[in-house]
Structure 1
Amino acid sequence: MAVMVIIGVCLIVYVGLAIVYLQQEPKQEELEKQINKTFLIVSKPLPSMKELQTEYDEVNLALAPMPVPEVLETIVGIARESGIDVEPAGGKFHIPPPSEPKEKKMAVGTYEIISFQGIKAQGDYDSVMAFIADLDSGKTKQNMVLKRVGLSQVEIKLDEEEAERRAEFRAVLSAVSDMMAENGITEIPNPINYEGGTATNDMMAFSDNTTTAAEKGYTGTGTPKAGYLLHQHDRIFTDNTTEFETVDYITIPTTLYYYTCEADGSVRQFDGPDIATATEYFSSKEVDIETVAVLNVDLYTKPVKE
């Protein structure tokens, strides 16, 4: 009986030691990881006095007092680099007069703060957001702090000439799309394309005046016009290829602007026939929407000691 008791005690002690051992192994691994991390940190060379002095000088330089005109020019420069029209005549960028400098005591010292309230920046979304991002990150001026941002959108009124240009562009785009759909084609065989170097305003020749009636599938005895035209186009009936009808996808035979068309139906607009010298227009939107940001910005500097 005594022997059994001794064996039982030994087993309990053995199991206890085994548990302690199993617990120690992961703890040792974790300790080794911490030691290795600490070693990596302490093994890094400390910056030299020269490097520390350089960083210190850069901080002091950034916090040096700036004349208000210089601050204004810095903000204007950030806006200009972001793609915002900063010309006064455009009315899309404005900086109200700043507040009088105020001193503020903080844990690390006393600072002089110049506040700019209600800075207005207007333009396309990407340009306005680039301006905000620069101020928010301190990319250009680290001691310039973005305090508040308000965003809105505004519809830009187009002048009559621009509105007419875009309306014509939309009409041509729509006509090409309708023509391709009604004629059952996914590609225009011989388009008057950009690569050809010449744009046209003749809608009785645009977008393709080369493809023959036979190539369009005509099998009758008539004489339908060649090509896939936007004005006075002879469309071959798909259910009876011996017949055709003349249709208009655009109501005018001659447009004010000039166009090219790719095989997939994409259209480009120009102010003249010679692509090499003509101005290309890109927007066909009925209205333009711009983003308006109103911002508050504080500039922190170290006051000059008397």
Structure 2
Amino acid sequence: MGERNLTEERDKFAALHPEARHVVHGRDWGVIRVGQSGPALVLIPGTLGRADIFWQQIAALSGEARILAVSYPASGGISDWAADLAQIISDAEMQGATILGSSLGGYLAQYLTATEPALCGGLVAANTLASVRGIDQVPPYALDLATTPIDDLRAGFEAGLASWQAPDHPYSDLARLLLQEVRTRIPEGELRARLQALKTAPELPAQSLPRDRMFTVESDDDHLISPPMRSALRAALTPARAYRFRATSHFPYVTRPDAYTALLREVLGLTGDHAIWPAGEESLS
């Protein structure tokens, strides 16, 4: 990650683009909206991220696309959130948007596009899974997420990031950013809701979007989404393109922002001199 201070960069963006509140069906969402013209793009983060976790893509594409990024409410689950997002998209007059979700957000994005295909113009299922079967048997989902002390849940995330905190680790800057999310930026209710939503998620309905509007993103060194899970996602969606990073962790939009922005430009049909796929270190399968 070099000498960059990711947390400082994100904080500067957040100061310029604070979340607006959008209450839908009694649930309080955080929303960042930028861009006045161009194709519509909805960005849904994973468990450890707010709307501004995509700050690098939002900043890069704000002059070319209409972007809506969200932060989760403190209640509800996958089906509730899909209904909420459908309303938020309609309220924003962003019908036909491409929906990108990463990790937890990728599962929600798949549910949204499957249940609201007329509202969605494309799907990017990124660093995510096609089924939650068996997830309730592994930590932290195996815990009672309603009663386990929040400090214990947060400590579990911190332990998972421990090895990245060494000064010479390539993801040390990313670890600092994520630790701030865990410790201070994601309130207790929201963190519990995110975990519970995936633990209790329904199986995904079949997609009816055209195949040429479905895409996947994966990372070879993703420690949370195993190779069999990546294969299962591709098999379930048969995407038009499967974007594969070699070494970007579970968070390629943070660690390789230019490449991630380039794939979004490609998905959105934006032209220019920015495309790098399939050239470069990343591979396209």
TM over 0.5: no
Structure with a larger share of its residues in helix: 2
TM-score by length of 2: 0.21
Structure with a larger share of its residues in strand: 1
TM-score by length of 1: 0.20
